[in-house]
């Protein structure tokens, strides 16, 4: 018998506003689940989860690793209740949309953590709405009940008002601030205290008489909400019949998985209070992989929709959700298995890349050790070491039953900046480390400016690049200087032209002879570059053709109007001439380059700018101001809709106008507005704006 069959697995994430206590709570969870032997204290910098030094400093989590632990609800005796909980580390910053979305996709349930003083904060709204998009069942944990000014009721109200009317407490605090002592379990109707040096002993007592009335009131609310889920139950409830604990739990579980109820709990992780009941609730109410619908993907050859049930007997399929370059272990590839099973030592088929890779080791990450495992099964999460060509978002599967689970189009990097080593010693390591980092993160790119030979890095936002340079220092010990971040503009043409390029030097020594005629035509937006060879009768020998293409490409990279790469053009080579002795690759490359530069100047050059798909979420009363501001930013409003209690505005806005928007939106909306953005497409820059950009050069 399998010890942890699929119904005993919980893949969950803790999501929160920065500082709400995600790290502390995760750590206590790992401690109580028996895997961390010493309580780390984040203020002293010894966390287990946040192994990247800089994350501690910034207080944000940007990795998406998964850690395994085990738990049996405190009030259950039978060991068959023990579940394997895989905790998926979710990043919280909007600059990492691809990562946030992927981590939401691979987890089955989430615990949203709030600060008991602040209640719902802007970022908790952002993640909440993202979780809505992916239908992630969740519950709430109102943390920091011990802090001065903490209020359970006020925090609950803010959750109900701003996030969901379905929130309902399953436990309430005993006392608050420095008098916060424990919680009252509204299902068992017992007071729960946390004794021992680090709150590890869970002690149940009678509810203090002063709180009995209040506890009854909250329990009534809970029962009413439970009864609403089922007609028969409602009848019995209205007839004042007893509803059993097990029945409450069963209905609560179903309703939580459907998203009809969002259970709310409270505690103070830092004071070791309330964490075990949270673990109990994770096991009791959040779904197992089996409780969720089958995954859908496409067949890589036929393009047909393929479905995989969360079942070990289905063909193997898994999604890679994180590739982490660990300076000590090498490349760790984390994946979530959706169906079937896989044994180490065999070959795995990467359907996204159409390659096979051998999996030598399968590893499960615990809080403080790695466990080598033989086999991994549907619903579970593991990592492997040493996959060379597999990246984040790839599907791994059975070669005989291929499926692609996610066709990810990674957003194009839209911000770039110059980067240079501080010393000679850093120089060598820099390019190596940059290459590694770009393999790990598909939204991070590195290139060399052909003109200045400077190294240019590009990514999704300022913070994204900031974190990368910081990691270079801390993890790889490479010191670098960076320039100011720039919008990644592009150039394109609007007219078709024909253009001649000649590079002929025939005085003294060996001569040079390259001569071409090309046609340059605009292509549809997003098509990039096409090169067509229409040379007939060998007017240019075949061997020199690639050199012409190379010359054209180099000229395109350099840009013609303002030094930005040219895109969306077709170049047709249709005529030219050569010299038996003097012609060379070099001469034809230069000729191609001259022909392109000269021709492009006459072809109606324009600048293209990245347009972001922006989603702004605001309370209704700020809608007018926010929409007005977006229009002033050259934004196009696409749609306005309601989500929960909020208004959602979808718009296209040029990236250049979005610098500093987080601060602006905050001040426009008393801190309640929220937004996410991601690259959507390139669009022509209006004439007047183009002039400003070129003049600034």
Binding site for ligand GDP (CB under 6 A): 16, 18-24, 42-43, 59, 143-144, 146-147, 268-271
Q: Which residues contact 161 (CB under 8 A, 6 or more apart)?
A: 120, 645
Give the shortest CB-592-to-ligand GDP separation in angstroms: 54
Beta carbons of 386 and 330 less than 8 angstroms apart: yes
Tokens of 472: 């270079």
Beta carbons of 307 and 339 less than 8 angstroms apart: no
Strands 370-373 and 362-365: antiparallel
Question: Can you spell out the DSSP letters for 581-641?
Answer: TT--HHHHHHHHHHHHHHHHHTS--EEEEEEEEEEEEE-GGGHHHHHHHHHHTT-EEEEEE
Give the shortest CB-90-to-ligand GDP separation in angstroms: 11
Comparing CB distances to ligand GDP, the nearer of 96 and 513 is 96
Q: Which residues pair with 608 in a beta bridge?
A: 490, 684
Beta carbons of 16 and 112 less than 8 angstroms apart: yes
Comparing CB distances to ligand GDP, the nearer of 90 and 352 is 90
Give the shortest CB-476-to-ligand GDP separation in angstroms: 24
Exposure of 572 in the CB half-sphere (CA atoms within 13 A): 11
Give the shortest CB-179-to-ligand GDP separation in angstroms: 13
Exposure string (b/e) for 444-456, b if CB count within 10 Å is 16 or more?
A: bbbeeeeeeeebb
Comparing CB distances to ligand GDP, the nearer of 199 and 310 is 199
Exposure of 520 in the CB half-sphere (CA atoms within 13 A): 33
Give the shortest CB-21-to-ligand GDP separation in angstroms: 3
Comparing CB distances to ligand GDP, the nearer of 176 and 656 is 176
Give the shortest CB-439-to-ligand GDP separation in angstroms: 28
Comparing CB distances to ligand GDP, the nearer of 143 and 443 is 143
Q: What is the rounded distance in angstroms from the CA atom of residue 177 to the CA atom of residue 146?
A: 4
**Which helix (H) or strand (E) is 454 found in, with range?**
none
Comparing CB distances to ligand GDP, the nearer of 21 and 485 is 21
Give the shortest CB-425-to-ligand GDP separation in angstroms: 35
Helix, strand or coil for residue 300?
coil
Beta carbons of 489 and 655 less than 8 angstroms apart: no
Beta carbons of 318 and 384 less than 8 angstroms apart: no
Comparing CB distances to ligand GDP, the nearer of 32 and 682 is 32
Comparing CB distances to ligand GDP, the nearer of 271 and 589 is 271
Give the shortest CB-104-to-ligand GDP separation in angstroms: 17
Comparing CB distances to ligand GDP, the nearer of 178 and 224 is 178
Give the shortest CB-464-to-ligand GDP separation in angstroms: 19
Q: What is the rounded distance in angstroms from the CA atom of residue 558 to the CA atom of residue 603?
A: 16
């Amino acid at each position: 018998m399998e010890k942890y069959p699929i119904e005993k697995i919980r893949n969950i994430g803790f999501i929160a506003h920065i500082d709400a206590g995600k790290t502390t709570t995760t750590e206590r969870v790992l401690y109580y689940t028996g895997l961390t032997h010493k309580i780390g204290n984040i203020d002293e910098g010894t966390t287990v989860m946040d192994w990247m030094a800089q994350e501690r400093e910034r207080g944000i989590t940007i990795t998406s690793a998964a850690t395994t632990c085990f738990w049996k609800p405190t009030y259950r005796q039978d060991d068959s209740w023990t579940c394997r909980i895989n905790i998926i580390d979710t990043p919280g910053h909007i600059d990492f949309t691809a990562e946030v979305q992927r981590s939401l996709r691979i987890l089955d349930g989430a615990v949203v953590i709030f600060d008991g003083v602040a209640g719902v904060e802007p970022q908790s709204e952002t993640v909440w709405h993202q979780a809505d998009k992916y239908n992630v069942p969740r519950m709430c944990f109102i943390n920091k009940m011990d802090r001065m000014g903490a209020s359970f009721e006020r925090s609950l109200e803010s959750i109900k008002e701003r996030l969901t009317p379905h929130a309902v407490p399953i436990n309430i605090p005993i006392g608050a601030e420095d008098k916060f002592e424990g919680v009252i379990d509204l299902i068992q109707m017992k007071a729960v205290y946390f004794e021992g040096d680090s709150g590890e002993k869970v002690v149940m007592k009678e509810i203090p008489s002063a709180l009995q009335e209040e506890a009854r009131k909250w329990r009534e609310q809970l029962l009413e909400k439970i009864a609403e889920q089922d007609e028969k139950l409602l009848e019995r409830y209205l007839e004042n019949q007893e509803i059993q604990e097990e029945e409450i739990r069963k209905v609560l579980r179903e309703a939580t998985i459907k998203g009809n109820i969002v259970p709310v709990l409270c505690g103070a992780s830092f004071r070791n209070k309330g964490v075990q009941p949270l673990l109990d609730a994770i096991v009791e109410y959040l779904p197992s992989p089996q409780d969720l619908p089958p995954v859908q993907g496409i067949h890589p050859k036929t393009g047909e929709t393929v479905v995989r049930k969360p079942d070990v007997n289905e063909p193997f399929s898994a999604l890679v959700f994180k590739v982490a370059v660990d300076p000590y272990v090498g490349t760790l590839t984390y994946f979530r298995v959706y169906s079937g099973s896989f044994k180490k030592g065999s070959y795995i088929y990467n359907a996204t890349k159409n390659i096979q890779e051998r999996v030598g080791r399968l590893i499960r990450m615990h809080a403080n050790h790695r466990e080598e495992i033989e086999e991994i099964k549907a619903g579970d999460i593991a990592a492997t070491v040493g996959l060379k060509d597999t990246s984040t978002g790839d599907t791994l599967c059975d070669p005989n039953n291929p499926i692609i689970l996610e066709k990810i189009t990674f957003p194009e990097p839209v911000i770039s900046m110059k980067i240079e080593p501080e010393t000679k010693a850093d120089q060598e390591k820099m390019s190596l480390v940059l290459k590694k980092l770009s393999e790990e993160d598909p939204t991070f790119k590195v290139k060399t400016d052909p003109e200045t030979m400077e190294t240019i890095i590009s990514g999704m936002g300022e913070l994204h690049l900031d974190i990368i340079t910081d990691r270079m220092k801390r993890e790889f010990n490479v010191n670098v200087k960076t320039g100011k971040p720039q919008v990644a503009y592009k150039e394109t043409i609007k007219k078709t032209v024909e253009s001649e390029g000649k590079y002929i030097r025939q005085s003294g020594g060996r001569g040079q002879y390259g001569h071409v005629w090309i046609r340059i035509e605009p292509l549809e937006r997003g098509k990039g570059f096409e090169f067509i060879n229409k040379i007939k009768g060998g007017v240019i020998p075949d061997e020199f053709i690639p050199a012409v293409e190379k010359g054209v490409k180099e000229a395109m990279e350099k840009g013609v109007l303002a030094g930005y790469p040219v895109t969306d053009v077709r170049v047709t080579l249709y005529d030219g001439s050569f010299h038996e002795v003097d012609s060379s690759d070099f001469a034809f490359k230069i000729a191609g380059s001259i022909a392109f530069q000269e021709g492009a100047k006459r072809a109606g050059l324009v600048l293209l700018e990245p347009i972001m798909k922006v989603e702004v979420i605001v309370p209704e009363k700020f809608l007018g101001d926010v929409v007005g501001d977006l229009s002033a930013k050259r934004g196009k409003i696409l749609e306005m809709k309601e989500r929960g209690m909020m208004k959602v505005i979808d718009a296209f806005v040029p990236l250049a106008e979005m610098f500093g928007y987080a601060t602006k939106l905050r001040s426009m909306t008393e801190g309640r507005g929220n937004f996410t953005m991601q690259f959507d497409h390139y669009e022509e820059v209006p004439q007047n704006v183009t002039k400003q950009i070129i003049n600034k050069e």
